[in-house]
């Protein structure tokens, strides 16, 4: 039975279970409450991150449960009869793996904690020489090899030795540089190297805080992908993985049910409890499910502060576990404050503070009282990792300072709601936390090519359309306002551009769905607000376009960070209107850069008039459609209201022929005809190629732009005849810094835009 399914009959038949061998033992039957059922998660594809379930964040199912309705004097009562299976079948039921922290019941009931070793002879020294020196657990090495992560990224190379030696880290590195694994691998290593005692419940080892739901889910997916592919129960240990961590594994129980698989996700068929249980606690999940997940016990909890605090207020057990967690991670720490999580973050951080320090801080928000020993100090060995792509140098210095303010009494040194105040409350156990700042100068990733187009605000649509046609690829267009996205969406649709919106007023489910669609649509366009600016690891984003100027330098850096990830090439285009130039200047100077540092994009101006015609038509159609929709909506509303009030409407209203204030049927018809003809006109234009000036379509070898050669070579542009197929980065003109006077005299060129 899947959550949300309803039963029509009084009894649900359980799914037949394949049983090997002729003997079928009788099931024992036990009655349980809804919460007490052996729920397990439904697997979602690991490689797709947020997708695979149509945007539903969590799905659970339960097997071997009979739903029985009993007539009682108080009415019908529902009962759940759980059929206990013989031992040898239990492994089949555990096939579902944990996703976002959900694992099967047998996880905690497993007779012994299990240590898994490599089945395949894995010569780490030869196969992964660049990872060998960190002493990572053999299974992590094997997973790294499976994923073809042959060498650590610079932040990983710097952070791993420090983290593995037990020290605290403040890590700042460019976007897309692999920060998640920089803190994730040491955590996974610790958990894998310290198997829990037999027959004990998992206890929280690491708390990772992330500012947004999407980022939290992505982090848990990322780490899950690593823990999942570890779950190959194996017969033999490999002597060739010469790592200390592997030695820990010796003598421990070897897993059963060996299945030989190559470099794939093995979880589903392993039939064994997951080695590392990772839960994501974010908004959008039912609290019942969340409690169930947490009650089963998790090793790593990835959470957004708001939702986590909601749960902590009712969950003393989890509060205690957080007090003794081994790792605390703040991912995208600076965004956490921006997102307005200060109060919750502050409360959560207090739980991880040692008692001696906690006494010095007067609580502003009372943390939940624990029924257990509330005065118990947290472990002194907790490691703290703070990571971001943007943490100011001042803050880094302050974080490292040994003499961080000890007192935050109300009225005296009261902290304001700023990142500095919040982070200064972190209780690093390390007296000298290591600051690793390898963020590039000005926040610009080396594989990123930047460019700008200066144009009037009213012309941005045309330039955007030009760019999307000229440089096919996956483009992420950032706008500062949701209204802007709502205005652009219908235009994109009419112009046959596959665009998807992403903003905070969309339901979470729709947001995830649109992200998924964007990921799988070739040449797809995502029109997004800055909720997509941070942390999202969308594969292969070719272009980031700042349609509207970001509100801060940090947002600019993070927006750009959605492309050029993991050393891939990427391109960013800044669209700057005259009245935005001051903002851009200020923004760039914040990161020590100048306006002239960003080169201009060369644009084929001869095509602009044709594109402008299409845009104008699309706008007209959109406006007509909008009017029709509005009228229909109003008419329907009046009709429905009249029906509800049982009022008979005037026949004039119904026919729409007399009342001048109501558009007549005739008028409506005329509007529909006009819209249809505009659409036909636009479609006609869209079906024709755009031909650059100087191209002869009759004699392709003549004209001052002969296209025959390009056609033979196969590098001609399919929608813009006369232009070569090329990448945006190749059309950037060298940066020039004209004097102010000269700039004022400059004319925009052949095309003067809508404003002229």
Ligand X SMILES: Nc1ncnc2c1ncn2[C@@H]1O[C@H](COP(=O)(O)OP(=O)(O)OP(=O)(O)O)[C@@H](O)[C@H]1O
| Interacting residues toward ligand X by CB under 6 A | 149, 152-153, 156, 175-181, 389, 535, 537, 561, 565-566
- Tokens 């800055």 correspond to 530
Q: CA angle, 511 as apex, 510 and 514 as ends, to 5°?
A: 80
By C-beta, is 567 or 628 nearer to ligand X? 567
Read off the tokens for 253: 């129980």
**C-beta of 276: minimal distance to ligand X in Å?**
17
Cα first-last separation, the chain = 64
Confirm if 117 and 248 have CB atoms less than 8 A apart: no
**C-beta of 553: minimal distance to ligand X in Å?**
15
Q: What is the 3-state secondary structure (H, E, C) of 701-738?
A: CCCCCCCHHHHHHCCECCCEECCECCCHHHHEECCCCC
By C-beta, is 39 or 122 nearer to ligand X? 122
* Bridge pairing between strands 720-721 and 570-576: unpaired
Question: What stretches of 502-607 show up as alpha helix (H) in DSSP?
Answer: 508-520, 553-560, 581-590
**C-beta of 471: minimal distance to ligand X in Å?**
23
**C-beta of 182: minimal distance to ligand X in Å?**
7
Read off the tokens for 467: 């760019």
**C-beta of 501: minimal distance to ligand X in Å?**
21
Burial class (CB in 10 A: 0-12, 13-18, 19+), 750: exposed
**C-beta of 211: minimal distance to ligand X in Å?**
11
**C-beta of 436: minimal distance to ligand X in Å?**
12
Question: Rounded distance, CA 557 to CA 472, Å?
Answer: 23
By C-beta, is 149 or 428 nearer to ligand X? 149
By C-beta, is 160 or 549 nearer to ligand X? 160
Question: Rounded distance, CA 21 to CA 608, Å?
Answer: 73
Q: In what order do the strands lie in the sheet with 525-528?
A: 499-502, 525-528, 475-478, 543-546, 570-576, 448-454, 600-601, 732-733
**C-beta of 506: minimal distance to ligand X in Å?**
22
By C-beta, is 196 or 335 nearer to ligand X? 335
Question: Rounded distance, CA 525 to CA 544, Å?
Answer: 10
By C-beta, is 326 or 559 nearer to ligand X? 559
Question: Rounded distance, CA 680 to CA 552, Å?
Answer: 43
**C-beta of 47: minimal distance to ligand X in Å?**
10
Q: CA angle, 328 as apex, 326 and 331 as ends, to 5°?
A: 150
Q: What is the 3-state secondary structure (H, E, C) of 395-435?
A: HHHHHHCCCCCCCCCCCCCCCCCCHHHHHCCCCCCCCCCEE
Spacing of C-alpha 285 from chain mean position: 16
Q: Which residues lie below 8 Å from residue 676, measured CB to CB, with a gap of 6+?
A: none
**C-beta of 223: minimal distance to ligand X in Å?**
10
Q: Report, in angstroms and rounded to the nearest whole number, the Rg of the chain calculated over CA atoms.
A: 30
Type and span of the H or E element at 289: helix 287-296
**C-beta of 230: minimal distance to ligand X in Å?**
16
By C-beta, is 179 or 307 nearer to ligand X? 179
By C-beta, is 513 or 534 nearer to ligand X? 534
By C-beta, is 96 or 176 nearer to ligand X? 176
**C-beta of 99: minimal distance to ligand X in Å?**
18
Q: CA angle, 150 as apex, 145 and 152 as ends, to 5°?
A: 115
DSSP 67: E
By C-beta, is 173 or 720 nearer to ligand X? 173
Question: Rounded distance, CA 32 to CA 78, Å?
Answer: 11
Burial class (CB in 10 A: 0-12, 13-18, 19+), 73: exposed
By C-beta, is 109 or 566 nearer to ligand X? 566
**C-beta of 543: minimal distance to ligand X in Å?**
16
**C-beta of 717: minimal distance to ligand X in Å?**
31
Question: Rounded distance, CA 224 to CA 632, Å?
Answer: 49
**C-beta of 152: minimal distance to ligand X in Å?**
5
**C-beta of 147: minimal distance to ligand X in Å?**
7
User: What are the φ and ψ backbone dihedral angles of 566, each rounded to 5 degrees?
Assistant: 50, 45
Question: Rounded distance, CA 372 to CA 630, Å?
Answer: 60
CA nearest to 440, candidates 564, 536, 311:
564
- Tokens 């890590």 correspond to 171
By C-beta, is 188 or 495 nearer to ligand X? 188
By C-beta, is 183 or 428 nearer to ligand X? 183
- Tokens 């008979």 correspond to 648
By C-beta, is 176 or 233 nearer to ligand X? 176
Q: Most distant CA pair in the chain: distance in Å?
A: 94
Question: Rounded distance, CA 550 to CA 558, Å?
Answer: 10
By C-beta, is 152 or 484 nearer to ligand X? 152
Type and span of the H or E element at 545: strand 543-546
By C-beta, is 152 or 271 nearer to ligand X? 152
**C-beta of 647: minimal distance to ligand X in Å?**
58
Read off the tokens for 661: 């204030």
Question: Rounded distance, CA 668 to CA 661, Å?
Answer: 13
By C-beta, is 176 or 378 nearer to ligand X? 176
């Amino acid at each position: 039975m899947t959550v949300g399914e309803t039963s029509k009959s009084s009894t649900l038949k359980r799914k037949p279970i394949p049983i090997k061998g002729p003997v079928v033992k009788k099931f024992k039957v036990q009655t349980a409450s809804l919460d007490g059922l052996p729920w397990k998660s439904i697997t979602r594809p690991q490689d797709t991150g947020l997708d695979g379930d149509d945007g539903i964040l969590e799905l659970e199912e339960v097997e071997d449960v009979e739903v029985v309705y009993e007539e009682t004097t108080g009415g019908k009562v529902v009962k759940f009869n759980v059929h206990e299976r013989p031992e040898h079948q239990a492994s089949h039921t555990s096939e579902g793996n944990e996703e976002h922290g959900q694992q099967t019941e047998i996880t905690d009931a497993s007779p012994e904690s299990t240590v898994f070793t490599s089945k395949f002879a894995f010569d780490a020294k030869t196969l992964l020489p660049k990872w060998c020196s960190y002493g990572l657990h053999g299974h992590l090495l094997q997973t790294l090899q499976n994923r073809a992560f042959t060498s650590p990224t610079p932040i990983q190379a710097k952070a791993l030795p420090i983290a593995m030696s037990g020290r605290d880290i403040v890590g700042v590195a460019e976007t897309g540089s692999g920060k998640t694994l920089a803190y994730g691998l040491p955590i996974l290593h610790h958990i894998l190297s310290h198997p829990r005692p037999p027959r004990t419940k998992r206890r929280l080892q690491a708390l990772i805080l992330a500012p947004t739901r999407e980022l939290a889910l992505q982090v848990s997916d990322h780490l899950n992908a690593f823990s999942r592919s570890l779950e190959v129960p194996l017969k033999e240990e490999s002597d060739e993985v010469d790592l200390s961590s592997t030695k820990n594994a010796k003598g421990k129980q070897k897993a059963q049910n060996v299945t030989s698989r190559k470099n794939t996700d093995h979880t589903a068929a392993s039939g064994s409890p997951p080695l590392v249980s990772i839960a994501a606690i974010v908004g959008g999940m039912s609290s019942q499910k969340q409690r169930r997940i947490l009650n089963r016990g998790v090793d790593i909890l990835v959470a957004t502060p708001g939702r986590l605090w909601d749960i902590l207020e009712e969950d003393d057990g989890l509060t205690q576990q957080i007090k003794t967690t081994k790792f605390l991670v703040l991912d995208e720490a600076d965004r956490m404050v921006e997102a307005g999580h200060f109060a919750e973050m502050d409360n959560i951080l207090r739980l991880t503070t040692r008692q001696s320090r906690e006494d010095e801080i007067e609580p502003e928000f009372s943390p939940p009282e624990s029924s257990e020993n509330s005065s118990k100090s947290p472990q002194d060995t907790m490691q703290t990792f703070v990571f971001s792509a943007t943490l100011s140098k001042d803050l880094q210095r302050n974080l490292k300072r040994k003499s961080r303010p000890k007192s935050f009494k109300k009225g005296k040194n009261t902290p304001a709601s700023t990142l500095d105040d919040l982070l200064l409350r972190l209780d690093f156990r390390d007296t000298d936390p290591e600051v690793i700042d390898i963020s590039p100068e000005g926040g610009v990733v080396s594989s990123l090519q930047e460019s700008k187009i200066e144009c009037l605000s009213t012309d941005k649509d045309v330039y955007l359309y030009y760019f999307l046609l000229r440089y096919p690829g996956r483009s992420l267009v950032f706008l500062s306002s949701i209204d802007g996205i709502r205005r652009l969406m219908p235009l994109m649709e009419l112009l046959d551009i596959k665009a998807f919106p992403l903003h905070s007023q969309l339901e979470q489910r729709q947001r995830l769905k649109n992200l998924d669609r964007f990921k799988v649509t070739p040449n797809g366009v995502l029109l997004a607000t800055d909720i997509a600016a941070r942390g999202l690891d969308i594969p292969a984003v070719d272009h980031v376009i700042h349609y509207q100027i970001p509100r801060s330098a940090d947002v600019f850096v993070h927006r750009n960070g959605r492309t050029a990830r993991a050393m891939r090439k990427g391109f960013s285009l800044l669209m700057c209107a005259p009245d935005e130039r001051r903002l851009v200047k200020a923004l760039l100077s914040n990161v020590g850069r100048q306006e002239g540092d960003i080169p201009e994009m060369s644009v084929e101006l001869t095509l602009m008039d044709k594109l402008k015609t299409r845009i104008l038509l699309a706008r007209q159609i959109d406006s007509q459609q909008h009017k029709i929709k509005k009228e229909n909506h109003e008419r329907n509303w009046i009709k429905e209201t009249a029906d509800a009030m049982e009022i008979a409407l005037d026949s004039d209203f119904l026919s729409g022929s007399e009342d001048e204030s109501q558009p007549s049927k005739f008028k409506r018809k005329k509007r529909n005809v006009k819209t249809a003809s505009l659409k036909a006109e636009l479609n006609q234009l869209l079906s024709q190629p755009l031909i650059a000036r100087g191209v002869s379509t009759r004699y392709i070898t003549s004209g001052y732009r002969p296209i025959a050669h390009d056609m033979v070579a196969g590098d001609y542009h399919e929608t813009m005849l006369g232009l070569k197929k090329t990448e945006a980065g190749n059309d950037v003109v060298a940066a020039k810094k004209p004097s102010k006077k000269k700039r004022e005299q400059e004319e925009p060129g052949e095309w003067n835009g809508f404003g002229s």
